[in-house]
Amino acid sequence: MSKKKEDWEIKRDKDNAKRMKAYNSLSADQQKAVDKAFEIVSSVNWSLREMFDITIQDARALDDLQFSLDREFCCSERLNKD
């Protein structure tokens, strides 16, 4: 027996399809940067929740992440316009 989807589920699925289409339009390097960003933010967030601290490894990962995101999405150029 199949369950009819609720309105919010239909909207969620449509929104997720749009997000996946946008993600899939990124270059392979941009996708890697986004995926790595999610992994690192998740890891650092876990450290903060569980240990109320971050490790030096987390700090290095955040530094590498900033460089990667800047390289792939020109963050410095876009965000530092005066």
> Which two tokens mark 44?
């650092």
pTM, full prediction:
0.72
Asked whether residue 15 is assigned to any structural domain, the reply reads no
Length of the chain: 82
Asked whether residue 72 is assigned to any structural domain, the reply reads yes
pLDDT digits (tens, 9 = 90+) for 40-67: 999 998 988 998 898 999 999 999 999 9
The number of beta carbons lying within 10 Å of the beta carbon of residue 72 is: 18
Asked whether residue 2 is assigned to any structural domain, the reply reads no
Cβ atoms 43, 58 nearer than 8 A: yes
Asked whether residue 52 is assigned to any structural domain, the reply reads yes
What range does the domain containing 63 cover?
28-77
Asked whether residue 13 is assigned to any structural domain, the reply reads no
Asked whether residue 59 is assigned to any structural domain, the reply reads yes
Asked whether residue 20 is assigned to any structural domain, the reply reads no
- Per-residue pLDDT at 11 exceeds 90: yes
Asked whether residue 54 is assigned to any structural domain, the reply reads yes
Q: How many domains does the chain have?
A: 1
- Per-residue pLDDT at 10 exceeds 80: yes
